[in-house]
Amino acid sequence: YKYQGCYTDNRDDRTLTGKIHYDDSMTLKKCATACSNYQWFGVTFGSQCFCGTSLADATEKRPEEECGMKCAGSKCQKCGDADRINVYWTGKDTVAVEPPLVGDFKYQSCWTDDKDDRSLTGGKHQRPDLTVEACAEICKDFRYFGLESSSECLCGNELGGEAAPEGQCSQLCPGNPEQWCGGSERMNVYTNTVLSSSTTTAEVPISTSTAESTTVTLPVEEETTTTVEPQPTSTVTLPDDGGFENGALWTPSAASGNAISVEVSRERVRSGNFALKAVFDNSTGSSKNYVKTVSLLPGRTYEASWWWWSEKVGTHTVSRMMFNGGGTSFVKDAGTQSGPAGQWVKATHQFTAGATVGSVTFSVYGNKAADSNTFYVDDISIVTI
């Protein structure tokens, strides 16, 4: 990558609209690694990294002094500023395409998807190595499939939403960076040419190639709350990026105490390429929370689970999931008081949803103890059972 300059950027008009990555110890190298499948990357506001296949048309180059914020992980490097982004480019053009035909499926368009009103409701699958062909195989018995947020494959027999400009589907497939895998609340949609589509709920217009910028926010996963029931055989993982494969944390809260450092890391993973890493010096009690809102089906039973790995035992370091919504609530802890060191351990909790919306808070924390510890979390999920 070669440095291109300081550019304008804001959350309503992102300069780079591909993958996003947040890291409390951000450096240029970390951002470049997270964006290795993309031609462009940019760093902003000290700890935020954006990837892309091109710069948005509306962005403007600005004087270097306007990008004066130091990177959170390196005071010798600049990481943009408020509404400013330092941009880097490989010098190569994007070669990604959307295959027009994949088996019995034909490409239709970039498509809208609303987290509160899903366009495809037959099931969603998270794949860290997603490709168009893999999603087609997963959804082979459905009329439609869509690829969204780089690593999500959605299936369905009815299609809501509407066509969107192709430029809004700007995230690359992790399993094949020469293919498009949607965007934030945008899907690349395919139609099964063999199965009847007479029950389609939205007309499929001709695909447009007009490029427009789109707001990129932290992905927030929510299961559909429409009146269409999910397929009985589908097991749907609710928290988006529970394996941290997008390289982005959930919506964070401020750390409590100064004895904890949290980041998304490749150092030790249970599956995929990333896991959440928390380092405690345990000089004082410290914690950090990450929050998501999910939509559920009232009366349906779910299993919440996650995997944790601890370097040491007896250091009072813990992972915790808290849920609250519609009269249903629980707190589940798992950590070094009850488990071994040096291996992945699964924590689970079953509950029945009492409302359509609930808040999930995932926390890592440590109490004051005699020794420091490194703690990892991966594969957070809430699934129907």
Q: What is the pLDDT of residue 57?
A: 80
Question: Please, which pLDDT band fits residue 339 given cuts at 50, 70 and 90?
Answer: low
Which ranges of the chain would DSSP assign to H, the alpha helix? 28-34, 132-138
- The pLDDT of residue 239 is 56
Over residues 296-322, the pLDDT tens digits come to 777 788 888 888 888 887 667 778 777
Mean pLDDT score of the chain: 77
> What's the CATH number where 353 sits?
2.60.120.260
Whether residue 230 is contained in a domain is answered as: no
Same domain, 353 and 287: yes
Q: Do 357 and 269 fall into the same domain?
A: yes
Read off the pLDDT band of 274 (50, 70, 90): confident
Tell me, rounded to whole angstroms, the distance of Cα 167 from its chain centroid. 19
Q: How many CA atoms lie within 13 A of 170 on its CB side?
A: 30
Instruction: Tell me the mean pLDDT in the region 174-190.
Output: 90
Cβ 195 vs Cβ 145: under 8 Å: no
| Shared-domain flag, residues 162 and 140 | yes
pLDDT of residue 327: 62
Classify the C-alpha dihedral 266-322-184-110 as positive or negative.
positive
282 and 330 inside one domain: yes
Task: Label residue 368 by pLDDT band (50, 70, 90).
Answer: low
Query: Domain end: 65, 89, 113, which one?
Result: 89
* 96-154 pLDDT tens trace: 777 888 989 999 889 999 877 889 998 889 888 899 999 999 999 999 999 998 889 99
Nearest to 295 by CA among 357, 383, 226, 234: 357
Query: Is residue 77 in some structural domain?
Result: yes
On whether both 120 and 167 belong to a single domain, the answer is: yes
The answer to whether residues 109 and 81 belong to one domain is: no
198 inside domain? no
Residues 288 and 357 in one domain: yes
The structure tokens listed for 355 are 């409302």
Within 8 A by CB and 6+ apart from 130, the residues are: 147, 150, 151, 152, 153, 173, 174, 175, 181
137 belongs to a structural domain: yes
* Predicted local confidence at residue 111, as pLDDT: 92
Q: In this predicted structure, what is the pLDDT of residue 236?
A: 38
Of 146, 175, 192, which residue sits at a domain end? 192
Residue 106's domain spans which residues? 101-192
**What b/e sequence results for 171-190 when a residue is b if at least 16 CB atoms lie within 10 Å of its CB, and e otherwise?**
bbbbbbbebbbbbbbbbbbb
Chain-centroid distance of CA 274 in Å reads 11
The angle formed by the CA atoms of residues 88, 94 and 98, to the nearest 5 degrees, is 140
Is residue 242 domain-resident?
no
Residue 7: pLDDT band with limits 50, 70, 90? very high
Same domain flag for 107 and 138 = yes
- 317 and 373 in a single domain? The answer is yes
pLDDT surpasses 50 at 207: no
The tally of domains found in the chain comes to 3
CATH number (domain holding residue 126) = 3.50.4
The DSSP annotation for 313-332 comes to SSS-EEEEEEEEETTEEEEE
110 and 69 housed in the same domain = no
Q: Which of 161, 192, 223 is the last residue of a domain?
A: 192
pLDDT at 298: 76
Q: Are residues 114 and 27 in the same domain?
A: no
Whether 172 and 277 share a structural domain: no
Position 138 in a domain: yes
- Give, in order, the Cα–Cα distances in Å from 353 to each of 118, 122, 123, 232, 362: 19, 19, 18, 17, 18
- Confirm whether 203 is domain-assigned: no
pLDDT > 80? residue 184: yes
Residues 330 and 63: their CA atoms lie apart, in Å, by 51
**CB-neighbour burial class of residue 327 (10 A; exposed 0-12, middle 13-18, buried 19+):** exposed
Is the model's pLDDT at 231 over the cut of 50? no
More confident residue, 188 or 246: 188
Question: What integer pLDDT is reported at residue 251 of this predicted model?
Answer: 63
288 in a domain, yes or no? yes
Q: What is the pLDDT of residues 14-69, one digit of tens each?
A: 889 888 888 888 999 999 998 888 889 999 989 889 998 888 888 999 999 999 99
